[in-house]
Amino acid sequence: MPLAPLGYDAHFARALEALAIPGAIPARVITEYGLFCRVITEQGEWQADLPGRMRHRAVDRTELPAVGDWVALEPLEEPSRGLIRAVLPRRSAFIRRAAGKRAEPQVLAANVDVALLVMGLDQDFSVRRLERFVALADEGGARPVVVLNKEDLCLDPDALEAEVRAALPEVTVQRACAVRGEGLEPLHALLHEGTTLALLGSSGVGKSTLINRLIGEEVQAVGDVRAFDGTGRHTTTRRELIPVRGGGVLLDTPGLREVQPWGREEALEKTFDDIFELAAGCRFSDCRHLDEPGCAVRAAIEAGTLDPARLENLRRMQQEVQAPDRRAGIQASAERRRLEQAAARRKAPKKKR
């Protein structure tokens, strides 16, 4: 199987050559299971084992292979099996805070060109969640495209589309009905040789149906949606890369109810550029947009030109981005105090018995 239609190009070829690993071949991660991955090579689909040394040396989970990664694979004697020796430098990566109590990053997908951010025009519709998905794509280095699916279940799809366009004026918005196969032509145009499209969205928004329509066959299971709240069960249980005939790949993901960002606070400026432009006109450079005099952001809210919920969403995301740094600072301060106290005890004169 040629790898160029799957995104392998001179950039990754040079990276593999620079590693100078004898006998290593390129492979792309289709899905990962922790201790091993399924990858695609020129010889077809293989199992790729993850060495214990790589797992133990990784500073965090972002250094381990993720779906969409290109890796240097050392073939083993067993047919269709290899050992991952390195992850090639990523062009893009969607990184969020992993689920659970521990604050650590998680790579949702790597080397994605276009992020199809799927939102259902039913009970689960949320512009605020779309803003989070767009910020994830912006920070990750992919082009965001909003897909408003299930327009057949919406009484006024024009109004909801206008709401999205007002909140995200710089983002392409496409309305669709995957079940009927309507509105998919612009999405087909995005899928061509060497391009990777990732579908992100909550459970039940129709990602699997969209994939089946874009590929032209039933490759993904489709689940029912509860009528009373518009949510669905996870028919996709893990992230998976799906090659498409004619070139390109689709990356399916399980439903994401909530996305907590992990990255730089500056990355939010692109998604919320209207608020940052307004903030430049505030009287004080450190304005918090609460009750300070001369606040241009509050003035826009009072004038009805800025949705206060959009400002609140930005505030929450800024706090979430800053949280890991605050925790790291607290832990570092505690460690410094512990070391200082230990040093003081060593220097203190010993009492005579």
Name the average pLDDT for the chain. Answer: 84
Which whole-number Å values give the CA distances from 332 to 61, 119, 185, 327, in the listed order?
A: 21, 41, 53, 9
The region of weakest confidence among 61-65, 183-187, 317-321 is 317-321
Q: How confident is the model at residue 223 (pLDDT cuts 50, 70, 90)?
A: very low
Q: How confident is the model at residue 329 (pLDDT cuts 50, 70, 90)?
A: very low
Residue of higher predicted confidence among 120 and 345? 120
Torsion sign across C-alpha atoms 282, 140, 203, 117? positive
pLDDT greater than 50 at residue 92: yes
**pLDDT number for residue 225:** 44
Averaged pLDDT, 245-266: 73
Averaged pLDDT, 31-51: 92
Residue 26 CA to residue 47 CA, distance in Å, equals 13
Say whether domain 93-252 belongs to CATH 3.20.20.140.
no
Helix, coil or strand: residue 285: coil
Q: How confident is the model at residue 38 (pLDDT cuts 50, 70, 90)?
A: very high
Residue 131 CA to residue 344 CA, distance in Å, equals 51
Residue of higher predicted confidence among 227 and 353? 353
Burial class of residue 153 (count of CB atoms within 10 Å of its CB; 0-12, 13-18, 19+): middle
Q: Do domains 4-87 and 93-252 have the same CATH topology?
A: no
Torsion angle, CA of 117/123/124/129, rounded to 10 degrees? 80
pLDDT in tens, 167-190: 999 999 999 999 999 999 999 999
Averaged pLDDT, 260-284: 82
Q: Where are the domains of the chain?
A: 4-87, 93-252, 272-303
Residue 111 CA to residue 266 CA, distance in Å, equals 21
Single out the residue of 26, 37, 30 nearest to residue 71, CA to CA.
26
pLDDT cut 90: percent of the chain above it: 52
Buried b (16+ CB within 10 A) or exposed e, 241-265: bbbbeebbbbbbbbbbeebbbbbee
According to CATH, the superfamily of the domain at 4-87 is Nucleic acid-binding proteins (2.40.50.140)
Q: How confident is the model at residue 95 (pLDDT cuts 50, 70, 90)?
A: confident
Widest CA span in the chain: 89
Q: How confident is the model at residue 1 (pLDDT cuts 50, 70, 90)?
A: confident
Q: How confident is the model at residue 246 (pLDDT cuts 50, 70, 90)?
A: confident
Helix, coil or strand: residue 126: coil
Contact between 210 and 116 (Cβ < 8 Å): yes
| Encoded tokens for 311 | 């400002």
Residue 182 CA to residue 2 CA, distance in Å, equals 32
**pLDDT number for residue 227:** 41
Q: How confident is the model at residue 19 (pLDDT cuts 50, 70, 90)?
A: very high
Which of the 8 DSSP states describes residue 4? G
Residue of higher predicted confidence among 165 and 123? 165
Which of the 8 DSSP states describes residue 265? G
